[in-house]
Amino acid sequence: MAARKKTPEFEAGLKQLEAIVTALESGSLGLDEALRAFEQGVGIARQCQQTLRAAEQRVQRVLEAEGGTVATEVFIDPGREADAE
């Protein structure tokens, strides 16, 4: 059940990061406020990265358990593919 709870936290973290980036890019924040937002963003990014690493390890364990060997492939996000065109 803990894994299900992590997903909403991850999604919320991404939304917070998007909001922080938008605010920083707007140029409307003062220096102190921008630094606080940046520090907060770095913390959120680290938490999200940790969640992604844990998910990757979990997937790897499942793959290893099923076949005994793991084949890694490059994942291409279909949404990102459309952005590149």
- Per-residue pLDDT of 30-46, as tens digits, reads 999 999 999 999 999 99
Residue that has been written with the tokens 């994942």 in this structure: 75
Q: Can you tell me the mean pLDDT for 3-24?
A: 84
pLDDT in tens, 41-81: 999 999 999 999 888 888 888 777 766 666 666 666 665 55
pLDDT given for residue 80 in this prediction: 55
Q: Under a CB-based contact definition with an 8 Å cutoff, are residues 17 and 46 in contact?
A: no
Q: Give the C-alpha separation, 44 to 13, whole Å.
A: 6
Q: Give the C-alpha separation, 19 to 84, whole Å.
A: 23
Chain centre distance of CA 47? 8
3-state class (DSSP) for residue 29:
coil
- Choosing among 1.10.10, 3.40.720, 1.10.260, 1.10.287, the CATH entry for 2-84 is 1.10.287
* pTM metric for this prediction: 0.65
Delimit the domains of the chain by residue range.
2-84
